[in-house]
Structure 1
Amino acid sequence: MAGETKITLIGNLADNPTLQYTDGGAAVVNMTVIANEKVYDSATRAWRDGDSLSMPCVAWRGYAENIAASLTKGARVIVTGTLKQRSYQPADGPRRSFTELLIDEVGPSLRFATAEVTKASGKRPALQQAAPQQAAPAAAWPPRPTTPPATNPWPTPAMAG
């Protein structure tokens, strides 16, 4: 769609991806990617860590299950997606806004590692089928939507402007 902010982020996973299920049964995975820049310090003639960016990322449905089964804390990943900003009104405070990356593509970085790719069957793994469906806790920050985004990325004629 027009007006979307697409970015590519390269960094490391801050923690294992968290897989949950909405009340409607849709899988959702949440993970945080931390990207650190390296800065050359000419005074010490050495590289040092510069500023870092911590970006919450989210994916839905079968893609969420594949991410949770494939990636672990510390893995270096390349993530491409759409920046989304959402607001939340907690009962006990002011309105809060946050930005997250809705994942289009994600994979391991092979600069310093190797990977073995296995094509996913179309079915949920047996472990995931037995898991109870649960929504994100109401007090979690940032709050997670209870419904996944639309599966059709193309605007309908009513949306075209």
Structure 2
Amino acid sequence: MADRNEITVQGRLGADPVRRVGANRASWVTFRVGTTPRGRDRSTGEYKDGRTEWFTVKTWGDLSENVADSLHKGNPVVVRGKVYVDTWTGENGERWDHVIHADAVAVEIKGGTVKYTKTIREPAAVPGTANGVLTGPDGSQWEAREDDDAAAEDDENPQLPGDDITEEELEGELSAAGLGTFG
């Protein structure tokens, strides 16, 4: 059995997501999520907020692009990923921060609605496809056939996993995950 350090956090964005680019031109998106527990004070019966815990969330690839295009300060989210502690030395001595390397980010829809839009990204240009000639990774070349164009037309409206799920199944999955109801 492999040890895993996964965490799921429900909270709100403290600021808009920020796109970052490293020295090797790799890009990622970071944002901060604050989570504040709320409970009833037994002596007064009033609800009170607890201490807010902050997490830095890092995302890569398509997830990072979708996060940057979709989320804004104050949005309620559910984040799942591996948790780490980053440490560094600052002006006031050693500092630390909880960092989640997210593999899933969702908008929490208990208090609002979301319209889901599939993202279709154009593939990057493939070298060696000029003039109808395709070049393979081993340097071999061949001409594109007419049936390749037909397959490309089918790819314009792909059937993605989950497209055939019913509204009742989706509501059951959301409820089972503790994410509210559909609609």
| TM-score above 0.5, yes or no | yes
Smaller-chain TM-score range? 0.5 to 0.7
Aligned equivalents of 1:82, 1:18: Cα separation in 2: 20
1:20-99 to structure 2, matched below 5 A, reads 20-88=20-88, 96-99=95-98
Higher relative contact order (CA 8 A, sep 6+): 1
Output the CA distance in 2 between the equivalents of 1:23 and 1:74: 31
Quote the residue 1:101 is aligned against. 100
Residue 19 of structure 1 corresponds to which residue in structure 2?
A: 19
CA distance in 1, matches of 2:70, 2:17: 9
TM-score normalized with structure 1 length: 0.68
Contact 1:27 1:65 in 2 (8 A): no
Q: Go from structure 1 to structure 2 and tell me whether the alpha carbon gap of 1:47 and 1:95 turns closer, same or farther (over 3 Å shift).
A: closer
Structure 1 counterpart of 2:45, which letter? Answer: R
Runs of 4+ in 1 over 6 A off after TM superposition: none
Distance in 1, matches of 2:94 and 2:30, equals 22
RMSD, matched Cα: 2.2
Deviation at 1:26, TM superposition (A): 1.8
Q: How far is the alpha carbon of 1:43 from its aligned partner?
A: 2.5
Q: TM-score, normalized by length of structure 2? A: 0.60
Q: Is residue 6 of structure 2 the alignment partner of residue 6 of structure 1?
A: yes
Asked if structure 1 preserves the Cα contact closer than 8 Å seen for 2:89 and 2:95, the reply is yes
- With 35-44 and 110-119 compared, the bigger mean Cα shift is at 35-44
Count how many residue pairs are aligned between Structure 1 and Structure 2.
Answer: 123
The answer (yes or no) to whether the contact 1:27–1:62 under 8 Å persists in 2 is no
Query: Per-residue deviation at 1:41?
Result: 1.2
Q: Answer yes or no: is the 8 Å Cα contact 2:36–2:53 preserved in 1.
A: yes
Bigger radius of gyration, 1 or 2? 2
2:4 counterpart SS class: coil
Preserved CA contact (<8 Å) 1:26 1:61: no
Deviation at 1:93, TM superposition (A): 8.2
Indicate the percent of aligned positions where both proteins have the same amino acid: 25
Whole-angstrom CA distance in 1 between matches of 2:93 and 2:42: 45
Deviation at 1:105, TM superposition (A): 0.3
Preserved contact between residue 88 and residue 95 of structure 1 (Cα < 8 Å): yes
CA shift at 1:50, angstroms?
1.2
* Distance in 1, Cα, partners of 2:94 & 2:45: 46
AA aligned to 2:85 is Q
Matched with 2:117 is: 118
| 1:113-150 CA distance string (max 9 Å, x none) | 100111111249xxxxxxxxxxxxxxxxxxxxxxxxxx
